[in-house]
């Protein structure tokens, strides 16, 4: 009689994996692929809800009618504040994975999302002070930190040749939290009405609990990540860290900034076409949806053709999109304006995937050079992964600050000119800078 020994069922006390060698084809085929896929699925779930909570105020400002006494400039600040705090949390969140373990930290960060959702539901009513709303909006930044820890964790699970796809799927699934919360806000506006904004955060409470329980039962801690605690200092000394951060401002900063601000832009610049918040909400989710779906495609394209090449042409397309938006704004053409903005969302998604593929690729190439010079291959590979994870955290934090800059640019442009034209020209100039930077550092003959 043959006894089949089955692996133990996943429990909340799942121990760290004793061995993790994704670059070993035999290990990957027998064990690694299945474990990595399972962790990716539940990482996406938690990160998706984190993005939704982070994006709450892009929806809630549509509920803030005259009874709240907040002008459009004040609403742009309300959407910028969670972006700023989310960006600040991304660096400590990245390295918390090394301290606590990927599964453990995912559980903690998922449960932490209960704080901004319940707090928002408690204070959101006419008569609440603007200062209180600013403080509560800042707490929603907790959701923005989840991205960095999730990406650093998933980066360690996958072999180099699959990192673009894996990071693209992880980030794209998380980014879908932006259109998801906007669709939920539209549903609440269309059914319960603008007088019930509390329903939006409260509907996320059971989903948060589900994500935390699923992470506890089905995710793993990687022992290799315990060695990453000193990687921040190493990454900060790398010039590529800051180049990639500037590029990520152009891609992810655009995505999250436009995602938070687009509804307000439509209501202010095309007030005659969008007399109510519901009418604008029907369109606000479309751009973030397309950008989120494009992100894994951008990662896969970078796996095939190279991250720098895809990023260069992507910034070229984003510059063309910004120019189209500027022309449409000057002409007062809503169809042309929407076309240009949808293009910006779409290509910001492609660029998110391709830039994040570039990060592990840069340090993998350096590891190959170190190995060719006589360094220990295992040590060089480990240093490559540690540095890439650290840069993912730094670039994610700096890139998210781009979302703050987008909202501030819109606020100042509308305050001083009554339109977003100055902001659109600023975006165009930055995309041109990014495509020149990509070519100069990574694509020209003799570049790094």
Q: What is the mean pLDDT of each run of 10 residues along the chain (448 residues)?
A: 41 61 89 92 95 92 88 88 90 84 93 96 92 94 89 86 83 88 87 86 96 95 65 79 92 89 86 75 82 86 87 96 95 93 93 84 80 78 76 83 89 88 96 95 77
Place of tokens 């090394």: 98
Q: Is 7 exposed, middle or buried (0-12, 13-18, 19+ CB in 10 A)?
A: exposed
Q: Is the pTM of this model over 0.75?
A: yes
For residues 215 and 107, give the distance between their C-alpha atoms in angstroms, rounded to a whole number.
6
Q: What is the pLDDT of residue 417?
A: 85
In the prediction, which pLDDT does 16 show?
59
Phi, psi dihedral angles at 374 (to 5 degrees)? 110, 5
Q: Which residue has the tokens 């190995």?
A: 371
pLDDT the model gives residue 207 = 96
Q: What is the pLDDT of residue 13?
A: 47
Burial 284-293 (b: 16+ CB within 10 A, else e): bbbbbbbbbb
154 near 47, Cβ under 8 Å? no
Helix 254-269, helix 334-372: angle, nearest 10 = 170
CA torsion through residues 242, 247, 252, 254, sign: positive
- Confidence (pLDDT) at 11: 43
User: What's the pLDDT at 357?
Assistant: 80
pLDDT at 76: 87
**Residue whose pair of structure tokens reads 């152009």 in the numeric block:** 250
Report residue 176: phi and psi, to 5°: -60, -15
| pLDDT at 14 (0 to 100) | 55
Rounded distance between C-alpha atoms, residue 19 and residue 241, angstroms: 29
Angle at which helix 114-123 crosses helix 142-157, to 10 degrees, equals 160
Q: Do residues 350 and 338 make contact, with C-beta atoms less than 8 angstroms apart?
A: no
| Sign of the dihedral defined by the CA atoms of residues 322, 323, 326, 327, in that order | negative
* pLDDT at residue number 5: 37
Would you say 436 and 310 are in contact if contact means Cβ atoms under 8 Å apart?
A: no
| 3-state secondary structure at position 243 | helix
Instruction: Single out the residue of 425, 431, 306, 432 nearest to residue 357, CA to CA.
Output: 306
Residue among 241, 243, 162 at smallest CA distance from 437: 243
């Amino acid at each position: 009689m043959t006894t089949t020994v089955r692996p133990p069922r996943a429990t909340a006390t799942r121990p760290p994996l004793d061995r993790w060698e994704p670059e070993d084809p035999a290990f990957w085929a027998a064990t690694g692929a299945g474990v990595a896929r399972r962790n990716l699925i539940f990482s996406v779930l938690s990160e998706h809800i984190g993005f939704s909570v982070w994006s709450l105020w892009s929806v809630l400002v549509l509920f803030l009618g005259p009874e709240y006494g907040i002008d459009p400039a004040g609403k742009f600040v309300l959407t910028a504040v969670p972006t700023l705090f989310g960006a600040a949390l991304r660096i400590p969140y990245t390295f918390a994975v090394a301290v606590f373990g990927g599964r453990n930290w995912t559980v903690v960060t998922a449960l932490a999302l209960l704080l901004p959702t319940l707090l928002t539901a408690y204070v959101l009513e006419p008569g609440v002070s603007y200062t209180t709303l600013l403080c509560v909006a800042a707490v929603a930044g907790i959701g923005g930190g989840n991205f960095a820890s999730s990406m650093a964790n998933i980066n360690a699970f996958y072999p180099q040749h699959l990192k673009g796809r894996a990071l693209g799927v992880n980030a794209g699934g998380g980014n879908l939290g932006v259109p998801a919360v906007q669709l939920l806000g539209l549903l609440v506006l269309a059914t319960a009405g603008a007088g019930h904004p509390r329903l939006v955060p409260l509907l996320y409470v059971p989903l948060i609990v589900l994500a935390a329980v699923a992470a506890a039962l089905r995710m793993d801690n990687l022992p290799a990540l315990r060695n990453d605690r000193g990687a921040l200092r190493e990454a900060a000394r790398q010039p590529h860290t800051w180049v990639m951060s500037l590029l990520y401002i152009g891609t992810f900063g655009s995505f999250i900034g436009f995602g938070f601000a687009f509804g307000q832009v439509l209501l202010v610049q095309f007030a005659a076409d969008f007399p109510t918040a519901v009418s604008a909400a029907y369109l606000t989710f479309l751009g973030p949806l397309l950008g989120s779906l494009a992100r894994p495609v951008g990662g896969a394209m970078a796996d095939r053709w190279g991250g720098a090449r895809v990023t260069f042409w992507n910034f070229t397309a984003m510059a063309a999109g910004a120019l189209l938006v500027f022309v449409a704004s000057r002409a007062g053409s809503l169809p042309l304006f929407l076309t240009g903005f949808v293009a910006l969302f779409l290509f910001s998604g492609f660029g998110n995937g391709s830039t994040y593929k570039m990060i592990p690729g840069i340090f993998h190439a350096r590891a190959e050079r170190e190995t060719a010079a006589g360094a220990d291959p295992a040590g060089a590979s480990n240093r490559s992964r540690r540095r890439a994870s650290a840069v993912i955290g730094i670039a994610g934090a700096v890139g998210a600050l781009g979302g703050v800059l987008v909202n501030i640019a819109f606020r100042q442009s509308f305050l001083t000119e009554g339109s977003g034209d100055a902001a659109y020209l600023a975006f165009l100039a930055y995309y041109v800078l990014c495509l020149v930077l990509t070519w100069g550092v990574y694509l020209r003959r003799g570049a790094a």
